[in-house]
Amino acid sequence: MEKNPQIDKNEINLIELIKILWEGKWKIAAAVVILFIASISYLSIKTRNFTAITEIKPESSLAVNKYFVLDNTIKLANIDANTDANTDSNLNFQKITKLSLLNLYIDILNDKSIFEDAIHKLNFLDASQYSDEQKYNEAINKLASSVKILTPLINNEEEGNFEISYHTINFIYDDFKKWKNILIYVDELANQLVKKKLLEDYSNTLSFLKQSKEYQLEDLKKLMTNVLIDSDKEMKKFEMDREFKLEDIQTKIDNTLIDYDRKIEDRLAFLSEQAAIARKLGIDKNTIEIQSFGNNSVVTNIKTDAAFYLRGYEAIEKEIELIKLRDNKQAFIDGLLKLEIEKRSLDQDKSVERAEKNKVFLDSLSKLEKEQRKIEQDKTLERIELAFKVTP
């Protein structure tokens, strides 16, 4: 009997609890309503961020086919350049393909400045929320840097197979419409920049090749001018050498004639002296010993130490007379004929050697002129320029 009161104290009195709750029902109801309203308000105010994933797909084959004429023109030009012995390099034009256009587009996006421009132009951020322009620009740069350009994993053996996956633009934000406007702006601007880059690259390459063509023509003109100058120099040198040789030969001829006259003068003086001695001694005939060996063989034995006047004045004076009667003294000059033959040879061969020398220079000049005409008539760059103008 003593345990019952103790048990009653530990048990929960439901009636009392219900009574207490009933008395405070309005407070509980008010608290629940307040919590519900607060939750609704929070959910309505809280921004919901999302991750926008935008795939970047390459140009279609149909679009890239519009560059076929240009690529084919460049290919044919390179074939012609490779078959030309005077050309040792290809035309440095980049082939336009799906991959090249896509890579150029991705490079422009990776610069991120294009996103900064879009965020600024489209008022993506509220400038009034920042204390100064520097803070505003820093926020734009930070937001643009958060844009991720992800590269697909492509097997090297399957390079160019963009059906596996694509480059993507990943961005976390809470306003779908604003971000879509940014993407539209960025895409339009990126395509404009791709076109501008292609135009600049091709224009620069064309300008460089045209300038190279002009330099080639200038070099050829200089070479042709130098050939003509060298030809004149060589011909003048040739003529001068020829004149010098002719002068030398003529000098030898003149000296030979002078020497002959001096020899004849000395000879006549000697003979006159010997004839006078012979007359004085009364030697009219040749008294130099003559030995006869029979059989009609006669040998004159002339002693080397015998005086010349022993020949007799008749023979000596006759020799003097004959020497003085000579009309053509050239016939009696030793070596004169050889010199005259050499002189005549130079005179007669002059035209032949000149023609041979001229032929060498004319051949060189002809080759240079042929190369000049070939470069001037080459319309490869004009065809490439025309093919590029019809591309997108």
Note the pLDDT of residue 27: 66
State the chain's mean pLDDT as an integer. Answer: 77
Summarised one tens digit per residue, pLDDT across range 258-299 is: 888 889 889 899 999 999 998 998 898 888 755 444 454 444
pLDDT score of 388 more than 70: yes
Q: What's the CA gap between 119 and 136, in Å, rounded?
A: 11
**Looking at residue 157, what DSSP letter applies?**
G
Structure tokens at 64: 């890239």
pLDDT score of 158 more than 80: no
Summarised one tens digit per residue, pLDDT across range 23-46 is: 666 666 667 777 767 666 655 555
Angle CA(52)–CA(53)–CA(56) in degrees, nearest 5? 135
Summarised one tens digit per residue, pLDDT across range 343-378 is: 887 777 666 566 666 767 777 778 877 877 877 777
pLDDT score of 187 more than 90: yes
pLDDT score of 190 more than 70: yes
Note the pLDDT of residue 356: 64
pLDDT score of 316 more than 70: yes
Note the pLDDT of residue 157: 47
pLDDT score of 7 more than 60: no
Summarised one tens digit per residue, pLDDT across range 80-133 is: 666 554 554 556 677 788 888 888 999 999 988 999 999 889 888 888 888 888
3-class DSSP state of 145 = helix
Phi, psi of 232 (to 5 degrees): -60, -45
Which of 140, 149, 125 is closest to 53 using CA atoms?
A: 149
The percent of residues in the chain predicted with pLDDT above 70, rounded, is 74
Q: What's the CA gap between 232 and 234, in Å, rounded?
A: 5
Q: What's the CA gap between 194 and 67, in Å, rounded?
A: 15
**Confidence grade of residue 185 (pLDDT, cut at 50, 70, 90):** very high
pLDDT score of 221 more than 60: yes
Alpha helices of the chain — where are they, by DSSP H? 4-10, 14-23, 25-45, 61-64, 68-83, 98-110, 113-121, 133-145, 176-281, 313-324, 336-377, 380-389
Which of 241, 231, 242, 226 is closest to 359 using CA atoms?
A: 231
Note the pLDDT of residue 5: 47
Structure tokens at 264: 């004849």
Residue 172's beta-bridge partner residues? 51
pLDDT score of 64 more than 70: yes
Angle CA(386)–CA(391)–CA(392) in degrees, nearest 5? 145
Q: What's the CA gap between 113 and 1, in Å, rounded?
A: 91
Summarised one tens digit per residue, pLDDT across range 127-138 is: 888 888 899 999
**Confidence grade of residue 141 (pLDDT, cut at 50, 70, 90):** very high
Note the pLDDT of residue 184: 93
Note the pLDDT of residue 235: 75
Which of 139, 154, 138, 142 is closest to 106 using CA atoms?
A: 154
pLDDT score of 13 more than 80: no
Mean pLDDT of 232-255: 82
Mean pLDDT of 204-217: 82
Q: Which residue has the higher pLDDT, 115 or 74?
A: 115
